[in-house]
Amino acid sequence: MRSEGQTPALQSVVSAGVNHDVVRFEPAGTIIDAAARRGIPVGALVKTMVVRRSSDDFTLVLVPGDRVIDWVRLRNHLGVRRLSLASDAEALTATGYRPGTITPLGVDRNLAVVADAALAGAGRVSVGAGVPGVAVHLDAADLLELTGAVVGEVTKPAGFSPGES
């Protein structure tokens, strides 16, 4: 395993000079537990979803932890008729990160990034750092700028309450 200072994700944040904190936590089984272990609200935890547009065309979708992809909105936003989640193997090939550690930071391929509108102006958020149990906390505006994300309304509420586990 690479040390936290050597992940491409952290290198990209450091080289950009972005104000950030590196947070270590025990990996969790649920999004609610993951947010608690990172010391943030569920909505501030950013999930990076790898979506397949075609056989070798992938887009990263940044989804707040308390939301899920709204497939109709995402298809409309991207102007396509079909989308699906990438398989674990496809996600690894597309991003260089294993599922569970995928982040939009430090990805080798030039992948399009779509961020849900809820992230615009969200303040401090947490995104994975490319290895288990390590996250980067930074301002949502910096995350959007670093990733070149296009913002759109592409999610809907997840349908759980923060008290659920």
* Contact of 62 with 119, CB cutoff 8 Å: yes
Q: What's this model's pTM, rounded to 2 decimal places?
A: 0.92
Q: For 142-155, what is each residue's pLDDT tens digit?
A: 999 999 999 999 99
* Contact of 130 with 10, CB cutoff 8 Å: yes
Instruction: Pick the closest to residue 9 from 102, 80, 74 (CA basis).
Output: 102
Q: What is the CATH number of domain 61-159?
A: 3.90.960.10
* Contact of 121 with 34, CB cutoff 8 Å: no
The reported pLDDT for the residue numbered 141 is 97
Q: For 77-133, what is each residue's pLDDT tens digit?
A: 999 999 999 999 999 999 999 998 999 999 988 899 999 999 998 999 999 999 999
Count other C-beta atoms under 10 Å from residue 98's C-beta: 13
CA-to-CA separations, 144 to 104, 124, 160, in angstroms, rounded? 10, 12, 26
The two tokens of residue 67 are 């939301």
The Cα–Cα gap between 151 and 119 comes to 8
User: What does R_g of the chain's alpha carbons equal in angstroms?
Assistant: 15
Indicate whether 3 pLDDT > 50: no
